[in-house]
Structure formats: C-alpha cells, structure tokens
Structure 1
Amino acid sequence: MQRRFLPLSALRAFEAAARLGSFKAAAEELAVTPTAVSHQIRALEAQTGFELFDRHIRKVSLNDAGMLLYPVLRDGFDAFEAALARLMQQRTRMLVSISATNAFTVKWLVPRMSDFRSRHPGIDLQLLASDDLVDLRSTAVDIAIRYGRGPYPGLVTEPLFTDRFAPVANPRLGVTSLEDLARVPLIRFDWKRPQPDNPTWERWFKVTQQPPPPQASELRFSDEGHAIQAAVAGHGIALVSLALIADELLAGNLVQPFEPAIDGHTYHLAMHADRPPSASVQTVAHWLRAQARGEHIEIENAD
C-alpha cells in the first residue's frame, strides 16, 4: 500500500481501540461516536482483508492480525507525539529526550534530576523508559543509554561505565556469610536478552566456586527494578547492579554482606550518527559523562 493511500483516520481509530480495549473508550478519546470508530475499523479490515479484533460484549481484544499491526502503529503515533511535543516546547524552552531501560531510568537517572535542574535550569529533560530498543533513526529521541557490548550500527557511541553486580539484602535479614544463603530466598530477574556472560546467580556461584545452596524458595521478576524493591522489602537476597542501588546502599536500606562483585555489561551513551547534536543535547551528554565518572569511582571504591 502506497503511503499516499494510507487510511490515517482508520489507523488512528484502530490504535486507540487496541490500546484502550474498547470502541467506546476510543471514541471518547478521539471525540467521535462509537459508531464512527466501528465504521473506521470495519473499513480498515475491509481494506486489509483481515479482521483485527475479537469482539466481546463491552470490550474488544486483538487477534493475531491485530497484534501484528498494533505495535507498529503505537510506536509510530508515540514518535509523532514526541516530535510535535519537541517542536512546541522549543518555542519557549529547550527539551532533550533520553531513552533508557526502566531500571536505569528509575534507579539512576531520576535520583540525579535535582542535580541536573540546579545546573541547567533552562533545559527540560524528557525521560523515555522502555526495555525495548528505541530506534533513534525514526524517533525524536536525542540520547539513548545502551546497555551491552555493542556494536550499535548507525549510532555514535561511547562507554560511560561498566556495571558491577553483587549480592545485596535488607540488613534485617542478618545475612553475613555464604552459609546464610541456605535460609533466605534468592531473588532473580529475567534478562531481556539472554547472553552467556549475563551476571546471573549461576555465574556468581561459578566465580565463588561454591555450589548453589538448597533453596526453600525463589522469587523471580521480569524487571530488575522490581527485584531491587523486593530486596529492599526484605523478601530475600538479590544479585543486582551496584550502580542502580547506590542510594539504597548509602541509606542503609541494603547491604552487600560479602564478596565477590562480578562484572556486568557496559553502559554506553549513544546518539544518531547523522543528526548533529544541538547545544542543549551536548550539554546533557556532558552532564551524563560527569555523572558516569562519579559512578565509576564509586564502583571502584566498592571493590
């Protein structure tokens, strides 16, 4: 289908209905009637030759064809919204967007926002947290924080710091030695991109040359940030990033009861190779480098 024939109104109605799970809710968001939304989606289904929803009483759900189409439209409309927001913000203030993982955004970037605002009050930051890779070539994102080994084609990248992982627990658990691991749950989280050198409990026990203890139970999470919160709450001992729990260690909410710490991957600062950074983007990149230098010193001192 050629671009000039794309049914934009129907695609917009489909995206809203898919995101909200309801033709009525989509109609309210788009300020039209539910009948109009239904007609738009019927027209789109007729044009594509596929039904896109399973229709139920008072709600709809995506079928296989709909699930193939929805993420593309969602990301596209998000990019439209971000680009328009940037244009409108630039009329009065400078806006720089940073894309990073959920855990890095919440545990590393957000605690540093007050420092950034005090140093650069004329620049607004937009933090885009997602564990899915954001394509800088098709979005308005200015800076991405990539976590891994690289390379990253089409991007200009530089290493910020290499992460370290160690066992940590709430001090109330009284974990002080390897023997204590037999009485507390191991907290795990799932890596989005499985790799043999990911810092997992299995790798940590291999480094210590200790067999994993018999566990009464384990806790597993899909997100590292949730695993950190579970450790803070005292639900077990977690092997997590020392960079992401620096504030928790400083506050005494978590302790590292024993060695060793093992290497994680490297955080990289990434920008689009064909998009010259503005002065405000360069300012943010400089600030990130300075924060990373401090983090690198903290991690080395933790050793």
Structure 2
Amino acid sequence: MQLPPLKSLWYFKHAAELGSFKLAAEQLFVSQAAVSQQIRLLEQQLDCSLFTRHTRYVELTRQGEQLLPHVLKGFSHLQAGVQAVSQDSHPNTLNLTVLPSFASGWLLGRISDFQNKYPNIKVRIEPSDQLADFSAGQVDLGIRFGQGNYPGLHSELISDDSLFLAYKPGAIDVNKPLKPQILAQKLIKDVCPDAERGWLTLAQQLAVSPDALPALEIDNAALVIQATLAGQGIAMVRRRLIETQLQLGQLEIYPNYEYHCQYKYYLAAPPEHFKWQKVQLFKDWLLAQFALDDQQFYQLHQ
C-alpha cells in the first residue's frame, strides 16, 4: 500500500492528541474544515474510520489507536533526522533581526559588551519592523515586541516593559501637581497600541478628556525619543528604550505614573535554533543585561 500524505498524518497526530478537530486546527493555524478534509482523505485511503465524531470532541476508534503510536514514532524519527542535518552551519556568526526602535534605543549601546565577552562570535544586526523569513537561512534569531505568537516559530519571553512620561531635565517639577504641568506642555505621542492605551490611562488619572492632551504623533518610537531629547515636548515611551538616556541624565521620568505594557519582549526563531550555543550565549547575555538595567533603574528611582 502506498503511504498516505505526510500532511494527513500530521493532522491526524494533532487531532488524536487533542481529541478535537477544532483544537487541532487552532494549533496548526488552519481551518477546522481543512483538518476534517485531511482526516477524511486519510480514512478513505486506509479504508477505515479513525475517529468517532461527537458534537464537541472526537475519540479514536480501534484502528485509530493502532495507528497513532506508529505515527508518533515516525514523526519523532523525522524530527531527529531534521535536527541532525540542521546543525548550525555558521557557529561563529550571529544574525539578528531586531525592531529598529530596540536596536537604536537599547541594543546598539550594549552589544559591544557581548562582543568583548565572545570575540569569536561575529554579530550582524538587521533592523526591521517585519520578522524575517527564517527559511532562507540568513537569520538566526529575532527580537520582537508583541504577544509571543509567531506562527511556525518558537518564542521565549525575555522581558516586560512599562511606559513612562519622559522629558528633558527640568521640564516637570515632580514636587508639584502633574495635571497643570501636562496641560501646559507640548506632548509627543508614539502611534502604537500600548502608547494609545497609556495616554488614555493618563487622561483618566488626570480626570481630563483625551482630547485635552493633543500631541505630535510620530509612528516611530526611535524618532519619539529623538524628539524628546531635542526638547520638543513630553513623551510617553517604553523604559527599555531610554535606559541609556536615563542613566546618563539626558532624560528624566515622572515617577508617579507607570503603565505596564500588554506587549512584551520575545526571542523568536525555529525551535532548533535555541539549541545552538551562540543563541544560548546571547539569550543569557540579554537576560543578564536586563537584570542589570532593572537594578540600576530601581536604585535611581526608588
């Protein structure tokens, strides 16, 4: 007998493990109808029923139970084979795809420390708002700010972040009420979901309409920071992106307002990349740098 299509067996595996075509579809990022179709094709080729369909779930028939362990073993061997041939072909070069705001606001000011610790690893940074296509083999690891959902990739949470009101030293007197000072200042707004929610929260806290906080809107976090450094107004920015400016005293933050971002920082890459030594070293270095920044921040703003 000719072997069934690998796709049908893959869908069968997920449906069998989850006991649901709907859940399998969600995990595979396809429609429930697509899962049902692949299972039907598999059943037609094998000339037997593999599932008993119920309203909210499915369960394996006797034939399905016989097939499942062989399918699991087969995919396990396939995965081992793929990993065997997908070893890091360039262990001394680390290719990163990074958001431009994170690259300019945080990474570039610290990457020399990683290079000094690991001089044998050449680092290449590709700033991009879009997550690169890893299938081309040109990228090892991505750093993203989001919710951790990157289809086909493994993601690992590395840090959260918060929005603060940032300004040139002296623009706000922290010993005086914030409301009249904010209303008298020029404001700079980063056009992104978290920043929008942050401004709305601030307006509620000050008991004013959001329309009372007109702002220059800039669709680029790095340019928002640049405008703030140039003294163009008060901005609401992510703390991670202004760590260096805070430490150097180039910017200050209002200590009594903080908005915890719903988005967070993630590493994203194919699962096997996280086994590479250079990726593990970079991840450990990132976590150590974040911890050091946190320590310095809370020492300055406790």
Secondary structure at 1:173 match in 2: coil
Letter in 1 for 2:198: T
Letter in 2 for 1:185: K
Aligned to 1:6: none
Aligned to 1:232: 229
Q: Please give the alpha-carbon distance, in whole angstroms, between the structure 2 residues aligned to 1:133 and 1:204.
A: 31
Structure 1 stretches of at least 4 aligned residues deviating more than 3 Å after TM superposition: 197-200, 207-215, 274-277, 295-303
Aligned to 2:59: none
Call closer, same or farther: CA 1:298–1:258 in 2, change over 3 Å: same
CA RMSD of aligned residues (A): 2.7
Measured against aligned partners, the alpha-carbon deviations of 1:206-254 in whole angstroms (never above 9, x if no partner) come to 3554444745x63221200100111111110000011110111111111
Q: Please give the alpha-carbon distance, in whole angstroms, between the structure 1 residues aligned to 2:252 and 2:124.
A: 32
Report the alpha carbon displacement of residue 201 of structure 1 after superposing the two structures with TM. 1.4
Call closer, same or farther: CA 1:248–1:113 in 2, change over 3 Å: same
Aligned to 1:189: 190
Secondary structure at 1:246 match in 2: helix
Q: Please give the alpha-carbon distance, in whole angstroms, between the structure 2 residues aligned to 1:149 and 1:110.
A: 24
Measured against aligned partners, the alpha-carbon deviations of 1:14-57 in whole angstroms (never above 9, x if no partner) come to xxxxxxxxxxxxxxxxxxxxxxxxxxxxxxxxxxxxxxxxxxxx
Aligned to 2:20: none
Residues 157-166 or 255-264, more deviating: 255-264
Letter in 2 for 1:126: R
Does the 8 A contact of 1:158 with 1:268 survive in 2? Answer: yes
Q: Please give the alpha-carbon distance, in whole angstroms, between the structure 2 residues aligned to 1:190 and 1:154.
A: 28
Report the alpha carbon displacement of residue 95 of structure 1 after superposing the two structures with TM. 0.8
Structure index of larger Rg: 2
Call closer, same or farther: CA 1:275–1:254 in 2, change over 3 Å: closer
Aligned to 1:137: 135
Aligned to 1:222: 219
% identical equivalent positions: 26
Aligned to 1:98: 96
Q: Please give the alpha-carbon distance, in whole angstroms, between the structure 1 residues aligned to 2:273 and 2:114.
A: 24
* Counterpart pick for 2:246 among 249, 266, 275: 249
Report the alpha carbon displacement of residue 150 of structure 1 after superposing the two structures with TM. 2.5
Does the 8 A contact of 2:167 with 2:228 survive in 1? Answer: yes
Q: 1:31-180 residue pairs with structure 2 within 5 A?
A: 90=90, 94-176=92-174, 177-180=178-181
Letter in 2 for 1:273: P
Q: Please give the alpha-carbon distance, in whole angstroms, between the structure 1 residues aligned to 2:218 and 2:224.
A: 6
Call closer, same or farther: CA 1:206–1:117 in 2, change over 3 Å: same
Q: Please give the alpha-carbon distance, in whole angstroms, between the structure 2 residues aligned to 1:289 and 1:198.
A: 28
Report the alpha carbon displacement of residue 133 of structure 1 after superposing the two structures with TM. 2.5
Report the alpha carbon displacement of residue 172 of structure 1 after superposing the two structures with TM. 4.1
Q: Please give the alpha-carbon distance, in whole angstroms, between the structure 2 residues aligned to 1:183 and 1:232.
A: 19
Secondary structure at 1:235 match in 2: coil
Call closer, same or farther: CA 1:251–1:274 in 2, change over 3 Å: closer
Does the 8 A contact of 1:169 with 1:175 survive in 2? Answer: no
Secondary structure at 2:113 match in 1: helix
Gaps of 5+ in 1: 1-85
Aligned to 2:267: 269
Gaps of 5+ in 2: 1-87
Q: Please give the alpha-carbon distance, in whole angstroms, between the structure 1 residues aligned to 2:179 and 2:238.
A: 19
Measured against aligned partners, the alpha-carbon deviations of 1:80-120 in whole angstroms (never above 9, x if no partner) come to xxxxxx98xx5xx8110111111101111101122112211
TM-score (norm 2): 0.62
Secondary structure at 2:134 match in 1: coil
Q: Please give the alpha-carbon distance, in whole angstroms, between the structure 2 residues aligned to 1:236 and 1:141.
A: 38
Aligned to 2:21: none
TM-score (norm 1): 0.62
Secondary structure at 1:268 match in 2: strand
Report the alpha carbon displacement of residue 161 of structure 1 after superposing the two structures with TM. 1.0
Secondary structure at 1:168 match in 2: strand
Report the alpha carbon displacement of residue 271 of structure 1 after superposing the two structures with TM. 2.0
Report the alpha carbon displacement of residue 198 of structure 1 after superposing the two structures with TM. 5.6
